[in-house]
Amino acid sequence: MWGGPLDALIVRTIITGKIEGRFYDLSSLSMTLGLPLSTTHRKILELEASGFLERVRSGRSTHLVPTRRSCVELDKSFEEMVSTLQRLYRGGPGLDEDRRGSASRERL
């Protein structure tokens, strides 16, 4: 979705921070993820160039924020996951038998 596993971790961390009202700059993201600052900087540049992250000035600080594209991609992946789980639960072997068994136990 956003490149490799490290890219996905970075974007998800920034999205989660935004949802929780906690914004990251390069150094705080680096510390949170336990990555060298140079690696974090390089990955952020790549994610910015790909259109997944952007920097926003806030006073004297610069925060990393997800772009609309990142949020749309996250929503799509979440919807796909929910759809897959629904198919698995509906079509799982023995699921109907379990429901009938619990219904007959409830009547007793």
The predicted pLDDT at position 86 comes to 82
Give the contacts of 51 (CB within 8 A, at least 6 positions apart).
Answer: 67, 69
CB burial class (10 A; 0-12, 13-18, 19+) of residue 43? buried
pTM score, whole prediction: 0.68
Of 48 and 105, the structure prediction assigns the larger pLDDT to: 48
The predicted pLDDT at position 93 comes to 53
Task: Give the tens place of pLDDT for each residue, 21-76.
Answer: 999 999 999 999 999 999 999 999 999 999 999 999 988 888 999 998 887 777 77
For the chain, domains (ranges, CATH) are: 1-94 (1.10.10.10)
